[in-house]
A and B are shown apart, each in its own frame.
Chain A
């Protein structure tokens, strides 16, 4: 694993800020876990400063009006509460653009398919498999439904590195906290 120490530190800082802002009453463990995870996700997403699509989508989905996490998100983001509002628009715009691109490409592919009716079976099967997996990947990456293929893979790259950092930091925090409670 590549140690992105700078990213790790940034993530940790933001996360701790969020954790501190979060009120931790004697809730059930699940709620606490939810709050921890949420603050971690938001810290991870904000570490990207809105450069990636998934981070924006993550924050916007977390800050959705009417969702349970809204108050938590506002607490965590605090003075930066204006950011989610801005980012809400970005994914929507991107979504519409990406959808247009997807529709266009689908139309083109349909045209091509019409011409080559006798498509070679193995290739079509392979394409189908790949398509299925792409759908799954889209569902995994936050905001992935709005991305075209190229964006999807780029976002996956970034998302994987962020997740790695998140896991590393959380793990070290967990072990350190366990050590601390001894």
Chain B
């Protein structure tokens, strides 16, 4: 199908700009054609897997000698910077973005409003039908988003008008392009673009960003460009493209506009700090969706065609990466890790360590309290939710008692301590069983615990006590080395 598009499109980079009223098929062929160009360069078969397409796009970027490549590489660099945590995940995005970078090169076609009333994401409206966008893009040089934003100020007076015009355009959906909106330059462009149709490819980058923005929304689902999905917020104000004023700007030099698009998507990505903006930039069609509709619009990527499966997969992948980012914040030590596999590793370790902690603590509770019901009430009255600091103050004196209580369970070396143990049901066999049960787990746990410096000292102490209780004094020294930073540990050693 894509091949068919490519053959039909046959749009060379210098092809004259298409009219805004171009047919849907033409529009569809455009992204695929551009994608094809990219892919043909890489000598990759077009109907490859989704990920492969991205990879091929990646491969194609180095050999490509277009100026797009520089912008693309820039974009890619920016995108990697943003989505560095998940390189595996971001790489296809980068590749895709590089694919989408080429559309920048493809001249006016990108600026053309795509005759796709349905599928276009409202977010795309920002870039949609953006001949003026291309013009503006041409004015900006390739650089990061910040500098890009700085230069947008020149368009100050015009922008408001354009933006308003853009907003008035009903075609522009209320796609939320937080990324786009954050960039004043983009807004300006959007305002310009909005006029003609919502189909310009310029909206692609904005769409992409809005698509990515929409990802966190619950209603977001992968779909082809025609599908409409819940659009939670319309962060982008330029939902409605300004119709008329932009039409004249269609004939802007496309190369510059391509660069601008690169930068815009870059800035989008940078500003929004996520790697999804590149996906938005790839939106193949603008969508004429009303802002009031509450569904997420997914724009088909360049070259990705409108295969619902690939789009759905892309959306699904975005969702997953989103949630992985949330997990990163939750799991300590995950910020330095990049890559899905490594992050999953960390997450697995963390969950396992937490589960082991629960086991240990329940065992400890079982050993310390023979009559939990009795103690529970007393404990409740003691306000067990005191701050850690308070607990730590009392922990030091507790060390000896806790350690002794625990030791009494485990070893026969402290017969006088047995009296401290309230648990009269401890038998030798149960102690042995306890040892064997706890020892391997405890060792593992101590090792994993040492990885998590966020544990408060008191927690570590209790754990260390348990560990100490099991082992001989020699092993105690070994274990204490795991917690070198803990003065109290050494203090405990002295005590014991």
> Interface on A for B, CB 8 Å cutoff?
1, 5, 8-9, 12, 16, 19-20, 24, 26, 28-30, 32-37, 40-41, 108, 112-113, 115-116, 119-120, 123, 126, 129-130, 133-134, 136-137, 140-141, 149-150, 153-154, 156-157, 159-161, 163-164, 166-167, 169-182
Contacts and interface: CB of A to CB of B under 8 A. Distances in A.
Interface in B364-397: 364-373, 375-376, 378-380, 382, 384-386, 391, 394-395
Interface in B64-112: 88
Would you list the 8 A-B pairs with minimal beta carbon distance, nearest first?
A133-B344, A32-B366, A163-B354, A33-B366, A170-B361, A37-B362, A153-B323, A112-B49
A25 to B, nearest CB: 10
Nearest to B350: A160
A29 B331 contact: no
B367 A175 contact: no
User: Which of B319, B384, B454 has most A Cβ within 10 Å?
Assistant: B384
A20 B386 contact: no
Contacts of B401: 178, 181-182
Interface of B: 45, 47-52, 55, 88, 309, 313, 316, 319-320, 323-324, 326-327, 330-331, 339-341, 344-345, 347-348, 350-352, 354-355, 357-359, 361-373, 375-376, 378-380, 382, 384-386, 391, 394-395, 398, 401-402, 405, 422-423, 425-426, 430, 433-434, 437, 454, 458-459, 462
Given A28-B430, A32-B366, A141 B458 contact: no
B24 to A, nearest CB: 25
Nearest to B339: A126
Contacts of B324: 153
A19 B376 contact: yes
Nearest to B52: A116
Contact of B372 (A24, A37, A108): A24
15 contacts: A12-B384, A19-B376, A29-B366, A30-B437, A126-B340, A130-B340, A136-B344, A140-B351, A140-B352, A163-B351, A174-B462, A177-B369, A177-B375, A177-B379, A181-B405
B341 A126 contact: yes
A12 to B, nearest CB: 7
Given A134-B344, A150-B320, A159-B351, 20 more contacts: A24-B371, A30-B434, A32-B372, A36-B362, A108-B309, A116-B45, A119-B49, A126-B339, A153-B320, A157-B323, A160-B331, A167-B357, A170-B365, A171-B361, A172-B384, A175-B395, A176-B382, A177-B369, A178-B398, A178-B401
Given A156-B327, A163-B351, A175-B458, A180 B379 contact: yes
Nearest to A178: B402
B391 A156 contact: no
Given A126-B341, A157-B327, A179 B394 contact: yes
A29 B363 contact: yes
User: Which of A1, A5, A33 has most B Cβ within 10 Å?
Assistant: A33
A104 B372 CA distance: 50
A9 B324 CA distance: 28
A175 B398 contact: yes
Contact of A37 (B359, B376, B394): B359
B361 A130 contact: no
Given A150-B319, A172-B386, A133 B373 contact: no
Contact of B48 (A19, A28, A116): A116
A109 to B, nearest CB: 8
Given A150-B319, A153-B327, A174 B368 contact: yes
Nearest to A175: B391
A111 to B, nearest CB: 8
Nearest to B375: A177
A19 B373 CA distance: 7
A89 to B, nearest CB: 24
Nearest to B324: A153
A65 B316 CA distance: 37
Given A33-B362, A179-B398, A141 B340 contact: no
A48 B320 CA distance: 23
B291 to A, nearest CB: 27
Given A123-B55, A163-B358, A141 B351 contact: yes
Given A115-B49, A170-B358, A174-B368, A180 B382 contact: yes
A137 B320 contact: no
A160 B328 CA distance: 12
A174 B361 contact: yes
A182 B398 contact: yes
Given A116-B48, A140-B351, A160 B330 contact: yes
B271 to A, nearest CB: 25
A167 B459 CA distance: 10
Nearest to B403: A178
A136 B348 contact: yes
Contacts of B458: 171, 175
A169 B385 CA distance: 8
A171 B459 contact: yes
Contacts of B425: 26, 28-29
Given A33-B362, A137-B344, A180-B382, A120 B55 contact: yes
A129 to B, nearest CB: 4
A24 to B, nearest CB: 6
Contacts of B55: 120, 123
User: Which of A24, A32, A113, A137 has most B Cβ within 10 Å?
Assistant: A32
A178 to B, nearest CB: 5
A164 B358 CA distance: 9
Contacts of A9: 385
Contacts of B426: 29
B372 A36 contact: yes
Nearest to A36: B362
A34 B437 CA distance: 13
B62 to A, nearest CB: 15
Contact of B345 (A35, A116, A133): A133
A173 to B, nearest CB: 6
Contacts of B433: 30
Contacts of B88: 126, 130
Given A120-B55, A177-B379, A180-B375, A129 B398 contact: no
